[in-house]
């Protein structure tokens, strides 16, 4: 398989498009948690009950289509290889929790992979809409439409007082989780993020790194999402998040301008060094790769580096994760081997861009 072909399959089509404020906001996501009133929730359902719910849902949604989204493909967890499931997790199309030992869970995915509907995760249905750039309202509108469409086929677990009833009390009410993925290199370099993150928490929003573990945010990529789902309308939840993210965008822009003004040569040096590492290294750990990718992406956004697409950060952050590396090289790899293959893949990816005008076989 050629790298180009692999990327085309590995990176969701929706991710390759540019959205509004794409220099800072990588993607926007809306997730709605819904349950059917007829069945016990998946967390306590017996195998028989879980299967019944699964097939009940499958019958009504498999190969159905909603407006321009195309048909939904039904992927059942017990029919997938573990590496395939891992890739779906790394593409954020399913949560790690969807993969259960019982295998009575599935996901419906449209062609462009902008919509995924998880079945029998913690709740019966988890509708997820992904948009490139800063498009929370667009994502909410689409999610609401899909929600209405699904509700025309099923009786939801809904209560006038508590709203949409979810398995976990943290999701009840709207069942809505709105989130944006933001790239904040300048706020990190200038160490301003330390002060901003606690302030964001005060607004009932959660900031966390997407890649890497704990508080560490690999590649300076953060996810910001709402915590509260009850007692606020969907529109207000999204609007509050939007307001805070707009502030963040503003702050990041100021920090980028300050860096350019006060330490341009140091910034250029940092960016070109990282570019050099990515283009030439033979062994690279995921942490170093993430740092360099973040630097190069900042270089692209500031016009310091040209000839590379913006999406290279999101793309390579996904592609160089362990699941994808093993999927690409079609073998199980030790951490040392992975660092070598990761370096190879990144070099090839950058060369692909540099050779773009030349004919390829």
Partner 1 sequence: MECQECHIRPATLHFTKIINGHKTEVHLCEECAREKGEIMAGSNAFSIHNLLSGLLNFEQPMEANGGSHEHDPLQCPKCGLTYNEFTRIGKFGCDECYKTFDEKLNPILRKVHSGNTAHIGKIPRRMGKDISARRKILDLKDRLQELVEKEEFEEAAKTRDLIRELERGGDQ
Residue with smaller CB distance to partner 1, 56 or 272:
56
Neighbours of 124 (CB within 10 A): 29
Q: Of the ranges 22-30, 51-59, 153-161, 300-308, which one interacts with partner 1 (CB under 8 A)?
A: 153-161
d(CA 186, CA 250): 11
In sequence order, what are the beta bridge partners of 182? 25, 222
Buried b / exposed e across 167-202, counting CB within 10 Å, b at 16+? Answer: beeebbbbbbbbbbbbbbbbbbbbebbeebbeebee
Q: Which of 2, 97, 141, 194 binds partner 1 (CB under 8 A)?
A: 97
Q: Which of 157, 181, 186, 218 binds partner 1 (CB under 8 A)?
A: 157
Would the annotation count 277 as a binding residue?
Answer: no
Pick the closest to residue 240 from 180, 188, 183 (CA basis): 180
In sequence order, what are the beta bridge partners of 130? 29
163 binds partner 1, rule: CB under 8 A: yes
Report 68-87 residues binding partner 1 (CB under 8 A): 82-83, 86
Residue with smaller CB distance to partner 1, 123 or 252:
123
CA distances, 272 to each of 61, 92, 246, 299, 348 (Å): 49, 30, 29, 8, 18
**At its nearest, how many Å lie between partner 1 and the CB of residue 38?**
9
Binding mask 191-210 for partner 1 (x = CB under 8 A): -------------x------
Would the annotation count 225 as a binding residue?
Answer: no
Residues in the chain: 361
Residue with smaller CB distance to partner 1, 122 or 252:
122
> Which residues lie near partner 1 (CB under 8 A)?
35, 37, 39-41, 43-44, 82-83, 86, 89, 95-97, 99, 122, 144, 147-148, 151-152, 155-170, 172-174, 176, 204, 213, 228-234, 237, 322-323, 326, 332, 334-335, 338
């Amino acid at each position: 398989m050629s790298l180009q072909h692999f990327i085309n399959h590995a990176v969701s089509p929706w991710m390759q498009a540019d959205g509004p404020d794409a220099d800072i906001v990588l993607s926007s996501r809306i997730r709605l948690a819904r349950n059917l009133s007829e069945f016990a929730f998946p967390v306590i359902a017996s195998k028989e009950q879980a299967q019944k719910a699964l097939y009940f849902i499958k019958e009504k949604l498999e190969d159905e289509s909603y407006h321009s989204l195309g048909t939904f493909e039904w992927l059942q967890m017990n029919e997938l290889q573990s590496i395939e499931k891992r890739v779906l997790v790394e593409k954020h199309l399913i949560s790690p929790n969807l993969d259960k030992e019982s295998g009575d869970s599935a996901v419906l995915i449209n062609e462009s992979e902008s919509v995924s509907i998880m079945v029998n995760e913690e709740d019966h249905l988890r509708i997820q809409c992904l948009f490139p750039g800063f498009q929370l309202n667009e994502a909410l509108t689409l999610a609401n439409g899909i929600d209405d469409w699904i509700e025309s086929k099923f009786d939801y677990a809904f209560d006038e007082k508590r709203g949409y009833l979810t398995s976990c009390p943290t999701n009840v009410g709207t069942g809505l989780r709105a989130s944006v993925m933001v790239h904040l290199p300048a706020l990190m370099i200038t160490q301003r993020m330390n002060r901003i993150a606690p302030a964001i928490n005060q607004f009932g929003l959660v900031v966390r790194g997407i890649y890497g573990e704990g508080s560490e945010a690999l590649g300076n990529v953060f996810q910001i999402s709402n915590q509260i789902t009850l007692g606020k309308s969907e529109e207000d939840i999204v609007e509050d998040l939007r307001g805070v993210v707009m502030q963040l965008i503003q702050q990041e822009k100021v920090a980028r301008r300050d860096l350019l003004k006060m330490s341009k040569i140091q910034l250029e040096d940092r960016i070109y060094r990282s570019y050099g590492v990515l283009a030439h290294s033979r062994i690279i750990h995921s942490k170093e790769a993430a740092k360099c990718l973040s630097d190069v992406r900042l270089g692209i956004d500031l016009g310091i580096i040209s000839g590379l697409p913006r999406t290279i950060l999101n793309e390579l952050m996904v592609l160089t994760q362990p699941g994808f590396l093993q999927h690409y090289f079609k073998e199980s790899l030790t951490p040392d081997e992975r660092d070598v293959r990761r370096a190879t893949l990144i070099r090839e990816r950058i060369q692909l861009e540099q050779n773009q005008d030349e004919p390829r076989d």
